């Protein structure tokens, strides 16, 4: 973990209790260039004259200026500058006007790994850590105090929430999925969204293997009987998984890992995906979902929640499955009609099932898994040979540390350097760090509508300065420009900023200097 750099005015700990001595966070799980990362040691005292800062604004009003963060930079041709925030005089501050250092506040909900919270705190951010999800009403009333938020799968960042928080810069989804965020509207408001699409793949794949074995041997039912004092040693309808066929719907990062694990147990693997994918091992892609359902002894889903997948498995699909087969869903709750699953189990058409995700889920641990979530819940709870788990597919120490590392680093890089590599809704743009050797440099981070003439307008504003580095990219209607400008005095920064933010296509402008 990076060495901490004390920053005046910021708290010295997260609001949750300090984490124990965990295994260090595994960094850079996606191969991000090292020049985008924070430094591993604090800057020397000689860098004091090279302090840089940032100020930025929402597209609508100067009363919602967005501040950058104080942090140590990455190493490149010398140590990167320590970033502090320069704010225009109109920025509303509760403290004395002369104290113009920005404080970036980060909110982490849903009990995100505390190592991630500690990492962000060590970079100089002010971090609040909350164990539960927040409702839309809570987000609207409380989120305006924060420039960044980290969530898992239960918190919903809707258009209404986004519109109520013009100060919000970035959203981190500490999970695989991003369907809990209105990605398009976030992009239109200049808010980048990051996730961790790979880090918990192994954890989910291992859970599926454990469920396949447990279902085959009716372990859950035998355990319940033993706890009730009943000895019921039977072998009827208990099977080895060797030689059985596993059908994987969705052959992405989880599905392909699961394929390898299943073959090591002697299973045959078939899979269905909407695009042709090269199989691993001896797995075989089938032409249709119907073919997979009719061939497999075990069917497991690993698909995102999109319009095409909602309720993709219902009464007709369960009827196509073999009598006595098994069904597993560790993907998304809305892709399965759970009332139809209950009926298939009650009729004994299916021999068992495992469900880890539900269309509606409680917002926190404790009582609440009842018919308020759907009238099928009591029916499922009464089904035999059914494994019900509370959305724990990626809930391992290893997965949560890896996710925490990846997403917290993404938040840090975007807030501090403007780097958008890995964003799911944003153009991916990066420049190497501004170092202590680069005096009188500023970095322009300009989110704008993808329209003709934007670069011409920006370059006209910067015409009296040397553009050292520049990179722009677009994604749909949104474009993102990063440019490093040399020979800029502090007295010129606000003029450049105002010129760029007042251009016709501006969504969000930040300057780091």
Clarify whether 391 is annotated catalytic. Answer: yes
Cα distance between the two ends of the chain: 26
Known catalytic residue at 332:
yes
- The set of residues, in sequence order, having a beta carbon less than 8 Å from that of 307 and lying 6+ positions away, is none
* Partners of 65 in beta bridges: 57
State how far the Cα of 405 lies from the Cα of 287, in Å rounded to an integer: 38
Label residue 501 by pLDDT band (50, 70, 90): very high
Give the span between the Cα atoms of 79 and 95, in whole angstroms. Answer: 31
At 417-437, the pLDDT tens digits run 999 999 999 999 999 888 777
- pLDDT score for 489: 83
Interval 70-99 mean pLDDT: 39
Average pLDDT over residues 116-137: 94
Would you tell me how many other CB atoms lie within 10 Å of the CB of residue 425? Answer: 23
**Which residue, 121, 126, 172, is CA-closest to 149?**
172
Q: 290: how many CB neighbours lie within 10 A of its CB?
A: 13
pLDDT band of 256, cuts 50, 70, 90: very high
Candidates 279, 335, 388, 333; CA nearest to 153 is 333
Helices (H) and strands (E) in the chain, counts: 14, 18
- CB of 263 closer than 8 Å to CB of 269: yes
Q: What is the SS3 assignment for 358?
A: coil
Report the alpha-carbon angle 477-480-482, nearest 5.
Answer: 170
Position 477 scores a pLDDT of 94
Is residue 102 over pLDDT 60? Answer: no
Q: Report whether pLDDT(18) > 90.
A: no
Q: Which of 361, 428, 468, 494 is catalytic?
A: 361
CA separation, residue 225 to residues 209, 220, 229, 232, 233 (Å): 23, 9, 6, 7, 10
Catalytic residue, candidates 100, 152, 189, 391: 391
Q: What is the mean pLDDT of residues 1-22?
A: 35
Can you read off the two tokens belonging to residue 505?
């296509």
Q: What is the mean pLDDT of the chain?
A: 83
For tokens 């050797």, name the residue: 437
Cα–Cα distance, 321 to 303 (Å, whole number): 19
Which one is catalytic: 66, 152, 332, 441? 332
462 membership: H or E segment, kind and range: none
The pLDDT confidence band at residue 80, using thresholds 50, 70 and 90, is very low
Phi and psi of 230, rounded to 5°? -105, 130
CA 238, 242, 244, 245 torsion: positive or negative? positive
Cβ atoms of residues 170 and 148 within 8 Å: yes
What confidence tens digit (pLDDT) does each residue in 133-147 have?
999 999 999 999 999
Select from 142, 153, 169 the least CA-distant residue to 64: 169
Nearest by Cα to 110 from 137, 138, 131, 128: 131
Q: Per this entry, what is the length of the chain?
A: 513
Residue-level pLDDT at 398? 94
Q: Which residue has the tokens 């249709």?
A: 288
What's the token pair of residue 462? 């910067």
Name beta bridge partners: 298. Answer: 246, 326
How do residues 328-376 score in pLDDT, each as one tens digit? 999 999 999 999 999 999 999 999 999 999 999 987 889 999 999 999 9
Contact 462, 442 (CB under 8 A): no
């Amino acid at each position: 973990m990076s060495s901490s750099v004390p920053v005046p005015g910021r708290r010295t700990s997260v609001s949750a209790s300090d984490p124990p001595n965990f295994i260090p966070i595994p960094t850079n799980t996606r191969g991000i260039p090292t020049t985008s990362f924070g430094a591993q040691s604090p800057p020397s005292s000689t860098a004091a004259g090279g302090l840089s800062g940032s100020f930025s604004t929402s597209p609508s009003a100067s009363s919602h200026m967005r501040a950058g963060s104080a942090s140590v930079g990455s190493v490149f041709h010398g140590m990167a500058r320590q970033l502090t925030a320069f704010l225009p005089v109109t920025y509303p501050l509760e403290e004395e006007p002369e104290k113009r250092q920005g404080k970036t506040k980060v909110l982490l909900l849903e009990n995100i790994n505390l190592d991630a919270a500690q990492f962000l705190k060590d970079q100089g951010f002010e971090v609040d850590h909350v164990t539960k999800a927040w409702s839309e009403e809570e987000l609207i009333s409380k989120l305006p105090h924060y420039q960044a938020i980290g969530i898992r799968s239960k918190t919903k960042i809707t258009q209404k929430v986004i519109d109520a928080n013009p100060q919000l810069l970035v959203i981190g989804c500490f999970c695989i999925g991003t369907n809990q965020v209105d990605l398009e509207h976030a992009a239109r408001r200049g808010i980048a969204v990051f996730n961790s699409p790979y880090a918990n793949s192994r954890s989910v794949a291992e859970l599926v293997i454990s469920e396949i074995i447990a279902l085959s041997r009716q372990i859950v039912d035998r355990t319940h009987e033993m706890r009730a004092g009943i000895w019921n040693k039977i072998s009827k309808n208990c099977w080895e998984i060797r030689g059985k066929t596993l059908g994987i719907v969705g052959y992405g990062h989880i599905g392909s890992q699961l394929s390898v694990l299943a073959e090591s147990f002697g299973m045959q693997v078939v899979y269905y995906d909407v695009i042709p994918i090269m199989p691993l091992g001896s797995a075989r892609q089938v032409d249709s979902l119907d073919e997979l359902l009719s061939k497999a002894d075990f069917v497991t889903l690993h698909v995102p929640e999109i319009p095409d997948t909602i309720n993709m498995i219902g009464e007709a699909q369960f009827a196509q499955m073999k009598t006595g087969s098994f069904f597993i869903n560790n993907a998304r709750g809305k892709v399965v009609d759970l009332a139809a699953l209950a009926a298939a189990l009650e009729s004994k058409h299916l021999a068992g099932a495992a469900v880890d995700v539900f269309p509606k889920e409680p917002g926190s641990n404790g009582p609440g898994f009842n018919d308020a979530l759907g009238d099928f819940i009591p029916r499922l709870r009464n089904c035999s040979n059914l494994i019900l788990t509370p959305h724990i597919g990626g809930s391992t120490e290893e997965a949560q540390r890896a996710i925490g590392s990846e997403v917290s680093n993404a938040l840090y890089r975007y807030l501090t350097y403007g780097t958008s590599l890995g964003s799911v809704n944003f153009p991916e743009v990066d420049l190497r760090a501004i170092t202590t050797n680069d005096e009188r440099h500023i970095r322009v981070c300009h989110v704008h509508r993808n329209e003709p003439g934007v670069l011409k307008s920006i370059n006209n504003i910067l015409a009296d300065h040397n553009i050292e580095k520049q990179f722009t990219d677009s994604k749909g209607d949104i474009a993102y420009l990063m440019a490093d400008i040399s020979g800029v005095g502090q007295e010129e920064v606000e003029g450049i900023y105002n010129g760029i933010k007042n251009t016709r296509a501006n969504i969000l402008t930040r300057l780091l200097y």
